[in-house]
Structure 1
Amino acid sequence: MVLGRPWTGFEAVALQEAMRKSVREFAAHLGIEMTTVANWRSGLSAVTPRPLTQELLDTLLVQVSPEVRERFEQILAEGEQALGSRRLPTRRTVSSAAGATAAGNDAALLARLDDARTLVDRTLAACTIAPSMVELMEERAAGRVLTYTSTPPSQVLATVLPDVLEVQSISTQRQPAAIQSRLSEVTAVLGLLIADALMKLGQIERANFWYGTARMAADDTGNMRLRARVRAQHAMLPYYYGSPEHAVMLARAAQAQLPETADDATALAAAAEARALARLGDADGAESAMRRARAHTAALGEMSSDEAFRFGEKRLLLYLSGTLTNLGRVAEARRVQEQALRLYRDSPGVVVDPALIELDIAIGYALEGAVDEACEQAARVLTTLPGEHRTTIVVSRAAAVVDAIPEAARGRRTVEELRHLVAAGASELR
């Protein structure tokens, strides 16, 4: 019995399960937000509801029938692991750089991801998608999106994979079109999370395949925003690891899904186009795309959410930082970067975006000829960023700092030290 001691997310979810209510129904019953219940389900015993919410749970537990209370106590007796294996996604804690690296490059896990993607692709191609517990899967996917930006990418792979496999396991018989569309949306969102995590870990080919899977799933729906979002997110992969021209193509394809529409996806796509065009040296094109990105973001209104796929002022400033740095407009870039870092201080759980901005600052120093400052800035990022977030995408941007240093200055001690740090970081990730 919980009465007399604090509730955790595990007990709260156990009560939800005992009452046999969906996340939406349980949240409505308590008068709280659905995202609160989703957080309980993601964190379980690691989450502590607020005191007022604990009082609501106390009251609800007293009011439920003896049958519900008996089921609740049985779930508590079985424990969190039993609950997780029955209804919730597998959870994995990553506590060190070594743990993150091992998970991110675990051959068995990556092979399972490949198998899962193949199964999903075949199902989508055969149009045999069928739903079961669709609402629960939508809510679970929403919870994954909510916590994605603060979760190490290796942990994302380990937790989202069971969700994908669950969707696949129930998608073997064709169902009515409306239900098929909802399941395809879930598949697209989960596929997008996996693709983005793989991109951060430097698993470029696998990430590209998963972006393709997410695109197939999105295109199986009538959701134009989702179609645009998948293409806009995909544009990041060639920007960081491939061809800026391909990034521009994907960004423009995303905007074509929702022409002249202010949306998270079109704002992101315009910003992605600007950054890629700047790298290609197209200053006029980059300026035009920046104007569109700013206009779309302003039309979306104030947005402080760190939820994945949401595009507000902070993420706009991240992209403007890269765009202006690529254009060599260092002084203007620095003003944007200082503003962005101030805003990111309000989101201490989000660490990769600020690290990328600080590396843009380092590149700016290098372009100005301030070689020691550039190297010290990049070295500070590599040595202070938590190991589980020090992934390939960060190490590759640190390498870009070395590349930006004038040839005549590359023999300096600070440059050599940074080069060794980059090489060590790349070696850890192999």
Structure 2
Amino acid sequence: MIGLDWTGVEVACLRVATLHGVDEFAHKIGCAPRSVRLWESKGLRAQLNPASKRLLEDEYRKLDSAQCQRFEAALSRVGRLPTAASSPEAIQVIPMQNHRVDMFSALDSVRAVVDQTLSKCTITSSRVELLDERVADRVLSYTAMPPAMALTSIAPDLLEVQAVAAERQPAAIQARLSEATAVLGLLTADALMKLGEIERANYWFGTARMAADDTPNRRLRARVRAQHAMLPYYYGDTEKTVALAQAAQAILPDTACDETALAAAAEARALARLGDEYGAEQALNKAQRLTDALENNTSDEAFRFNTKRLLLYTSGTLTYMGRTARARRVQDEALQLYRPTSVIIDPALIHLDAAVGHAMDGSADDGCQLAAGVLDDLPTEHRTRIVITRASDVLDALPAGCRQLPSAGTLRELVCAETAT
């Protein structure tokens, strides 16, 4: 034992000394982040079990001299360490029974520091509202922007939100900052996904999930998982898509909202691609019920789910179920709804679903020509990896005897040329 009576105050001081956030610190000492948050929130009232105290003492013994100084300084500020202490052996907690007056004085000091911390705020409510408005603008304009341009516009907002969130803010403001971080992180991940930066996108989806899970907003938590499900669908791990889509729905069971409707539709499309027709049909029916229960809207802003977006997912689901005639009717309806909008990627993906359907049902020339036309017609800044990947899926769907057709060769050359750039 090193003489410390570990409470939430000492835990907070040790974490500050190591310059870690709650999650990093918890991982470092080998316990759950929830435990660290609970200890720190209870302060002197926190009752740690012997095993937890041993973990903290083990971490304390690893401190270097600079970390020790920070730890002792933090303890001194809250009245838990005499200022003369300069080594681990000197750290003592003042016994209540022997020094009641000193202990009460120390508690007064703790209260003063806690009050100061709780009242500390480096951002005004007006600035938070301004940040919220900027995030909302990013969401509104995102679907019409080329992904590279979207990343350029999002980055300054991310940096500003992070700079403010790095300082201790009141809980309500901190939650709003975490929401902003989650939304901006999600847009960043989606743009990286479209550009084919798969690993970076995956990391950013993880960041968005951590930020969302740091808020009480269950819809946001579900949204992050539902959106994340798109990455493995387009880039090869369809079973993971199903898992993420189901996890999103589990957060809000039997709740009709954009997030659950999207997750059910994503699950249906993935199950169809895996060959589970019954499961795909069930999930698609659920997506339809949830979408029918939503407020009727035609918004093109990111994260909103409506009829035309459902038709996009239905198009892929029916195509991989082999119901290409029904899929074509859905695709025609979807393209009609998308026609008056400024969204570019969704209609391209619908056309490529149709091209896959042609390839699957024996119309190889039609499928290859349609896919090549999609690539030719797309503006350069929108001709991203996600579109090229879907064009490659057309080639993969061709029967073996059709892969040497001139139209297949033309499409293959286009795909290879775009992949090389």
1:143 aligns with 2:133: no
Match of 1:415 in 2: 408
Which residue identity is paired with 2:411? L
> Aligned partners of 2:385 and 2:217: how far apart in 1?
32
2:387 aligned residue (365, 380, 394): 394
1:309 aligns with 2:267: no
1:152 aligned residue (139, 146, 159): 146
Aligned CA distance change for structure 1 residues 171 and 301 (closer, same or farther; 3 Å): closer
1:358 aligns with 2:351: yes
Match of 1:85 in 2: none
Q: 1:172, CA displacement in angstroms?
A: 2.2
Match of 1:274 in 2: 268
Q: Which secondary structure does the structure 2 equivalent of 1:170 belong to?
A: helix
Q: Which secondary structure does the structure 2 equivalent of 1:150 belong to?
A: coil
For the Cα contact (< 8 Å) 1:194–1:207, is it kept in 2?
yes
Q: 1:411, CA displacement in angstroms?
A: 1.0
Alignment of structure 1 residues 319-334 onto 2, 5 Å: 319-334=313-328
Which residue identity is paired with 1:365? H
1:214 aligned residue (208, 211, 220): 208
Where relative contact order (Cα < 8 A, 6+ residues apart) is larger, the structure is 1
For the Cα contact (< 8 Å) 1:130–1:170, is it kept in 2?
no
Which residue identity is paired with 1:162? P
> Aligned partners of 1:388 and 1:226: how far apart in 2?
29
> Aligned partners of 1:377 and 1:131: how far apart in 2?
55
Query: Deviations 1:181-204 (Å, cap 9, x if unpaired)?
Result: 111000000000000000000000
Q: 1:346, CA displacement in angstroms?
A: 1.5
Match of 1:77 in 2: none
Aligned CA distance change for structure 1 residues 388 and 124 (closer, same or farther; 3 Å): farther
* Structure 1 runs (4+) greater than 2 angstroms displaced: 121-132
Alignment of structure 1 residues 164-175 onto 2, 5 Å: 164-175=158-169
Work out the number of aligned pairs and report it: 307
For the Cα contact (< 8 Å) 1:123–1:172, is it kept in 2?
no
Which residue identity is paired with 1:356? L
> Aligned partners of 1:393 and 1:130: how far apart in 2?
42
Match of 1:338 in 2: 332
Aligned CA distance change for structure 1 residues 122 and 272 (closer, same or farther; 3 Å): farther
> Aligned partners of 1:264 and 1:136: how far apart in 2?
25
> Aligned partners of 1:227 and 1:170: how far apart in 2?
22
> Aligned partners of 1:225 and 1:372: how far apart in 2?
44
Query: Deviations 1:22-52 (Å, cap 9, x if unpaired)?
Result: xxxxxxxxxxxxxxxxxxxxxxxxxxxxxxx
Q: 1:130, CA displacement in angstroms?
A: 7.0
What are the ranges of 5 or more consecutive residues in structure 2 without an aligned counterpart? 1-19, 26-36, 38-116
Q: Which secondary structure does the structure 1 equivalent of 2:215 belong to?
A: coil
Identity score, percent: 62
> Aligned partners of 1:124 and 1:219: how far apart in 2?
12
> Aligned partners of 1:370 and 1:162: how far apart in 2?
48
Match of 2:184 in 1: 190
Match of 1:296 in 2: 290
> Aligned partners of 1:220 and 1:149: how far apart in 2?
26
For the Cα contact (< 8 Å) 1:200–1:393, is it kept in 2?
yes
TM-align CA RMSD: 1.7
Which residue identity is paired with 1:310? R
For the Cα contact (< 8 Å) 1:199–1:393, is it kept in 2?
yes
Match of 1:385 in 2: 378
Which residue identity is paired with 1:283? E
Aligned CA distance change for structure 1 residues 123 and 170 (closer, same or farther; 3 Å): farther
Match of 1:71 in 2: none
Match of 2:420 in 1: 427
What are the ranges of 5 or more consecutive residues in structure 1 without an aligned counterpart? 1-120
> Aligned partners of 2:281 and 2:301: how far apart in 1?
27
Q: Which secondary structure does the structure 2 equivalent of 1:358 belong to?
A: helix
Q: 1:284, CA displacement in angstroms?
A: 0.7
For the Cα contact (< 8 Å) 1:130–1:171, is it kept in 2?
no
> Aligned partners of 1:294 and 1:125: how far apart in 2?
41
Q: Which secondary structure does the structure 2 equivalent of 1:300 belong to?
A: coil
Which residue identity is paired with 1:171? A
Query: Deviations 1:121-148 (Å, cap 9, x if unpaired)?
Result: 9687578997622111111000000000
Q: 1:376, CA displacement in angstroms?
A: 0.8
Match of 2:98 in 1: none
> Aligned partners of 2:367 and 2:382: how far apart in 1?
21
Which residue identity is paired with 1:387? T
Aligned CA distance change for structure 1 residues 359 and 205 (closer, same or farther; 3 Å): same
Which residue identity is paired with 1:188? A
